[in-house]
Structure 1
């Protein structure tokens, strides 16, 4: 421990040599830019803006809408992680470090959602212009449905802006859910209306089959909605250990739980133990919902969908990894400690770990990794986790750092490591 605190972190290289490590050039933003630039290219090179048709605009809306929805499908997310982590350890580090950015797939979702909204706005504009030039050429029903739909799409986009989503997260979640469902119904309404006005069977419409696919994708997690029994252990007023027995998930996955399935969902990292059925969650006091959960322990909670891969799954792309965790961030790290698929050096910074999380949990961590550095902030104050992370990388020769902490600290550790050429990963708070 003392050796790590004496680590001298070298200064960052010149900006021109590390510009790709800046947050604005994250893989999330790059993927979003690729989608938006691809759509812009269609406008500039493929689409003749003077003769553009409603059918062309509708096709672009559906393409982007499909990408936005399907990339968030749980089965597809797990498939993306599986595919990315097939990269062999023998491949160059630069390839593996890029593959490990798979969890930035949300950039495709955001870019496609914005593009779909833009194309739909253009389609509404074209139809309104036609209506003004030739009254009666566009039905009033179409204009009303499309106007309401455009309003919903714009509301979803605005609420998803990072500074709004972060400040009003519950509002963002509910708008995303209910406005999203409303938008899907309105897309169905427009499709049925178009089929009726054209007197063509629905089965002959490509839009119909795309909407069938998207509806099934959105509905699939809710088709697995169920209320399950849980057992609780509350080692302190700050945290509770919740045990589930209805399934045994894979290490590195997460489960969303709710006490009111229509209003609010919260995801937590699953902690399965090798050779044991079921799994645990660590739920710590981090807001109103978790506070109420800890104070009024429920006997059942709602779950839906399937367990989904998380950022720490990328550990298998590296020969060894340093984990930085703070507080209940130990939850996403524990299954990887227990599975021991990769050599790990753990640095866990938390206040009074035994008092907060219980002797049993701390002892379990130390059995899995006797060399873990557990930093008690009540005794030693807050550490410089950038210094500790860099020192641990140099000491054990790790290839990457994975940080599970609050947003500000995660972003700082990831940026500071990346700026010095060390692959680093952490949650990106895009949902």
Structure 2
């Protein structure tokens, strides 16, 4: 199948299409969603005030809390008899966020997933081993439908039962792996434990990885462990699921901006930032019917670039997500993202990318501790070597974080593995405050 023509439009064509769709979306939500009518009226804006793409900055933001406050269907722009699919994200703090799709929305989702998978030329003859979670989580079904539409064979393995997954990958001749990057690395570890060579005993040629931030080091570790090309998938359930952006053969993340209009804002002030500056990624859906969202704050920290890519696509590029504004740790006044720690770990020889960040409070002082596994290939129990490795990592962390961190080296395969999104941070300070220090 040939690449989608929308990936190669000129800027003028893109902007004309976006403006037309933006006007339609703004009019739609104003007339059909009481929440948006109230928000627009509050700031004194009407649909007819949107005359250019720059006018989007005058529209109010939407947050995840807004979706929770209107749980389950308070933000729908269509009656329920037009809804054909319902998904939700995990509700770790109260109610989950619920998303709904019309038949038109499902076609858009399949389209952008096809465009994502075409980055790796997925098609007939490929066997796609889909180790994303199925069910209410959008990841599994998003990749499933996109791969099927391209004519590939899909193995809906979902998560868990790692040894069985490896058996299926070998026996069915999987050529494409879809999973979180941390789980892909875990699969490779278990394959080696079972006596297999991930690079030579499997037929994988590429993988699509996402659903969690990954440093360049983790991406390289996954690609090298399996001997495959690493493709990144970016998305979020509230916007559509996976399929908001995907990386090309040159590793550049491309946003499908004919459906999702992106902005970068200062997370503190909400002001739109110039091209190339790092800030919070915001999306406005341009074609969704069931749950259109205006200026949805993703909390993901990234950048946007406009110049065309070497692959020939003219759609905007976004930088790798370096973390989330709501996942950012403030330790002794210093901003710390887990991805920064991960980047350092993957550059120090003798360590694995498996780690946990623990933040404590000692009296009035914050204490940052990093627990990281030593690579079993160098783990000999020699205390002198381990102490040298510990000091080296502490120095590297200090140089990158501008903050002193304690390092705790642990034996190989002792930290808990995640079947989905890896949990990297344990912040004990809030509990300690509740208990009175």
Fold match (TM-score > 0.5):
no
Structure with the higher helix share, 1 or 2: 1
Higher relative contact order (Cα pairs below 8 Å, separated by 6+ residues): 1
Instruction: Decide which structure has greater strand share.
Output: 2
> Radius of gyration: which is bigger?
1
**TM-score (norm: length of structure 1):** 0.28
TM-score (norm 2): 0.27
